[in-house]
Chain A
Amino acid sequence: EAQVTQNPRYLITVTGKKLTVTCSQNMNHEYMSWYRQDPGLGLRQIYYSMNVEVTDKGDVPEGYKVSRKEKRNFPLILESPSPNQTSLYFCASTPTSGSHTGELFFGEGSRLTVL
């Protein structure tokens, strides 16, 4: 089944404790992206990657890191989480970077709470 898989789905952590949210897609998509979703603010892009070893900042990159060592994986790293990073996170992918289509395939989401 074609899908985008995120882990963990739910996580409660404390300020300053490094964590990684993994994202994997099995559709051979070039483009992958991370979003956070907060009440009243919609989906905001954190980082994106147009291909292996190519990553770039989105609208809200502060406090996050990403890597794209393999095509299928795009982990989101919070080196020192803070309470303002409490949010619902989505990973998404699409076949071709620079494509005119915008049909993103989303994961199921990861609910992160930072105490």
Chain B
Amino acid sequence: GESVGLHLPTLSVQEGDNSIINCAYSNSASDYFIWYKQESGKGPQFIIDIRSNMDKRQGQRVTVLLNKTVKHLSLQIAATQPGDSAVYFCAEKSGTDKLIFGTGTRLQVFP
């Protein structure tokens, strides 16, 4: 598959454990945030989003937390599965400006 980065931060978790992937964003005016998942050899895929008027949003097995005070975003994955192995990107947006992507974190799930 395609390599998206040889020196990405890597999080290794055991199957069944919870994963927490962190992201620091840069623009205090950003009002919309998204997490994308990129599997090897594929394009990024939308996971979950959150607006700046919220501090938490839950999806299926995933939760996004937003701390505007410290400009920090996190993605929590419950009961991590082998299929969750991928690179995860956060992205921020201010108004109708374009998305700004982070460099990504590689999640490795081992048995």
Residues in A whose Cβ lies below 8 Å from that of B41: 108-109
Per the bound structure, the CA–CA distance linking A108 and B32 in Å amounts to 25
Per the bound structure, the CA–CA distance linking A99 and B32 in Å amounts to 11
Interface size on B, residues (CB 8 A): 25
Q: Does B98 contact A (CB under 8 A)?
A: yes
Contact: B101 with A48, CB < 8 Å? no
Contact: A43 with B32, CB < 8 Å? no
Q: Min CB distance, A21 to chain B, in Å?
A: 13
Contact: B98 with A48, CB < 8 Å? yes
Residues in A whose Cβ lies below 8 Å from that of B42: 108-109
Q: Does A106 contact B (CB under 8 A)?
A: yes
Taking A43-B89, A102-B91 as contacts, is the C-beta distance between A111 and B44 under 8 angstroms? no
Residues in A whose Cβ lies below 8 Å from that of B3: 39
Interface size on A, residues (CB 8 A): 28
Residues in A whose Cβ lies below 8 Å from that of B91: 102
Per the bound structure, the CA–CA distance linking A35 and B33 in Å amounts to 18
Q: Min CB distance, A12 to chain B, in Å?
A: 14
By beta carbon, the residue of chain B nearest A105 is B46
Which of A40, A42, A107 interacts with B101 by CB under 8 Å?
A42
